């Protein structure tokens, strides 16, 4: 706004019947009352209220600090937990591999023992079967002549010598 505009506005305001301010005794009484109220209310109302606000801020600040410390503690505890968990998992893996190795070793020992017993059993049975086969062949050889005579007698219908 330019100065001319302000003077025009100011003059039109004055022409329309502006506000007259009289500095009389009521104004002084009001100022004195405001000062007295400030002096009375400051220790009674404002100071306790400011202390209350300050106490609240400190409580909030303390709670925030405590929450931050707790958060840091929990983050540290979580990191420690993860480290211990990783160590425990590594130990568990080592133990599992050791037990698996022992199991494979025991399995191989049992299989070797069973294979040896099976091979021995089969060898024994083969030898028995060969002995029985030799015995049966010897018996058949001895009785082959007799059987051949009986067969020839039946086929020919007469006795063969």
DSSP 16: T
- pTM for the model stands at 0.42
Read off the pLDDT of residues 39-50 as tens digits, 9 standing for 90 and up.
999 999 999 999
Over residues 54-74, mean pLDDT: 91
DSSP of the chain: --HHHHHHHHHHHHHTT-------HHHHHHHHHHHHHHHHHIIIIIHHHHHHHHHHHHHHHHHHHHHHHHHHHHHHHHHHHHHHHHHHHHHHHHHHHHHHHHHHHHHHHHHHHHHHHHHHHHHHHHHHHHHHHHHHHHHHHHHHHHHHHHHHHHHHSS---
Q: Give me the residue spans of the domains in the chain.
A: 33-156
Read off the pLDDT of residues 67-113 as tens digits, 9 standing for 90 and up.
999 999 999 999 999 999 999 999 999 999 999 999 999 999 999 99
Of the chain, the percentage scoring pLDDT greater than 90 comes to 57
């Amino acid at each position: 706004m330019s100065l001319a505009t302000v003077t025009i506005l100011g003059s039109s305001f004055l022409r329309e019947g502006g506000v007259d301010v009289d500095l009389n005794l009521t104004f002084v009484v009001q100022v004195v009352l405001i000062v007295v109220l400030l002096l009375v209310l400051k220790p009674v109302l404002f100071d306790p209220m400011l202390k209350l606000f300050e106490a609240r801020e400190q409580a909030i600040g303390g709670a925030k600090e405590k929450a931050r410390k707790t958060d840091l503690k929990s983050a540290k505890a979580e990191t420690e937990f993860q480290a211990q968990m990783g160590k425990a998992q590594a130990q568990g893996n080592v133990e599992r591999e050791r037990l698996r190795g022992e199991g494979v070793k025991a399995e191989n020992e049992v299989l070797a023992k069973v294979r040896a017993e099976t091979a021995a059993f089969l060898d024994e049975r083969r030898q028995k079967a060969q002995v029985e086969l030799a015995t049966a062949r010897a018996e058949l050889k001895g009785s082959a002549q007799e059987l051949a005579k009986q067969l020839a007698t039946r086929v020919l219908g007469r006795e063969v010598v």
